[in-house]
């Protein structure tokens, strides 16, 4: 209630990107002061529930609700976010070299639609500074995934080298990695989701992951994040290549270019749309991916998750884990407790004793 009655009205009067930076800086500060982590945990921590805990890829997830990439782009506030009740979090998207991203303004709220539009353009500090931030963070309290991309100036023909550099520079700091080829805000990036470009990129990524593992750092999973705007035929082809590549899983989905059903004037803004308008489509993509992979490749579901029911729908469609972003902006950190309690109630209602029993039951 503190967020909705006090913090949100103040933040929503500010420019969205300024509010974003204020939140990240605030969480970073609190997470690093003596007693700060304990304070955040006392305020927002989520009680452990055995029926929601899972092990995937040799990693333990205390609950299935994670933080999507894009909020903590530079891994500045990992300590703070780790205390809010997330089961895991993504940092990034990071690129080898620092880049400023697209021109301001580039982040827009659509309150009437409970949505955001962003055209940030992978603004980040580069792998060297992210490595320093993660080194300073120390041991992770929750699993941390590093979301990796290519610099804007790197042509697609050379993209694989950018992804290799990201893995090389950050391998020791991430618990798992996410290959972002589906942001709509870097020119031509989404072309990497198709055909030979995708084959070549994933061959390079998996090779680099094995190379780093062979240096004594241990094997780590790598997932691919896909767009919601793929046609059914494109989903089939993309998933087929991903399955062949030997990567560990799929994140479905990134933001959308669709503007269907929006009412807020900001619908005219260019960029990727996230939030409630994406809920249905992302669940459809999860269901199709689960069917195409026959449930053999774990899926992280993302896109318009605001309630426990939204999360549960994605789990029943085939997601093993889910991620939130836009809902956190609108609902605040109390969302995590509500979502976890709600998931426990939904599992019980349907006669399940563990979340694994619900994964994909609507897609069989």
Catalytically annotated residues: 183
The sign of the dihedral angle between the CA atoms of 256, 258, 264, 270 is: positive
Listed residue (272, 286, 279) closest to 307, CA to CA: 279
DSSP state of 321: E
The pair of structure tokens assigned to 235 is 């989903």
Taking the C-alpha atoms of residue 346 and residue 364, their distance in angstroms, rounded to an integer, is 19
Strand partners, 225: 180, 251
Q: Rounded to 5 degrees, what angle do the CA atoms 328, 146, 320 make? A: 65
| Cβ–Cβ under 8 Å, residues 314 and 326 | no
Taking the C-alpha atoms of residue 113 and residue 106, their distance in angstroms, rounded to an integer, is 18
Q: Rounded to 5 degrees, what angle do the CA atoms 76, 82, 84 make? A: 115
Tokens 């399940």: give the residue. Answer: 352
The pair of structure tokens assigned to 224 is 């691919």
CA distances from 113 to 170, 246, 259, 327 (A): 37, 38, 11, 12
């Amino acid at each position: 209630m503190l967020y909705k009655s006090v913090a949100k009205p103040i933040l929503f009067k500010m420019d969205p990107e300024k509010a974003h930076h204020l939140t990240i800086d605030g969480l970073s500060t609190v997470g690093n002061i003596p007693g700060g982590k304990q304070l955040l945990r006392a305020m927002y921590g989520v009680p452990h529930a055995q029926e929601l805990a899972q092990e995937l890829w040799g990693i333990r997830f205390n609950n299935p609700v994670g933080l999507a990439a894009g909020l903590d782009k530079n891994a500045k506030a990992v300590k703070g976010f780790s205390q809010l009740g997330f089961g895991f979090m993504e940092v990034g998207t990071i690129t080898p070299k620092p880049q400023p991203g697209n021109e301001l303004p580039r982040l827009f709220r659509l309150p009437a639609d409970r949505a955001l539009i962003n055209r940030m353009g992978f603004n980040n500090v580069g792998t060297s500074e992210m490595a320093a931030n993660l080194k300073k963070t120390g041991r992770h309290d929750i699993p941390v995934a590093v979301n990796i991309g290519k610099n804007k100036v790197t042509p697609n023909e050379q993209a694989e080298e950018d992804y290799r550099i990201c893995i090389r520079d950050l391998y020791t700091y991430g618990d798992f990695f996410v290959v972002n080829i589906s942001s709509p805000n870097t020119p031509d990036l989404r072309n990497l989701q198709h055909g030979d470009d995708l084959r070549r990129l994933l061959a390079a990524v998996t090779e680099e992951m094995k190379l780093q593992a062979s240096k004594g750092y241990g094997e780590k999973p790598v997932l691919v994040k896909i767009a919601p705007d793929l046609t059914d035929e494109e989903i089939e082809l993309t998933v087929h290549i991903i399955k062949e590549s030997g990567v560990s899983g799929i994140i479905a989905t990134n933001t959308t270019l669709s503007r269907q059903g929006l009412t807020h004037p900001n619908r005219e803004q260019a960029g990727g749309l996230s939030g409630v308008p994406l809920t249905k489509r992302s669940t459809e993509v999860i269901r199709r991916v689960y069917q195409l992979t026959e449930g053999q490749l774990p899926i992280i579901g993302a896109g318009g998750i605001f309630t426990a029911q939204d999360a549960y729908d994605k789990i029943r469609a085939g997601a093993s884990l889910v991620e939130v972003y836009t809902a956190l902006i609108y609902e605040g950190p109390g969302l995590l407790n509500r979502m976890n309690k709600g998931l426990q109630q939904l599992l019980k209602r349907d006669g399940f004793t563990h979340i694994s029993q619900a994964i994909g039951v609507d897609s069989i």
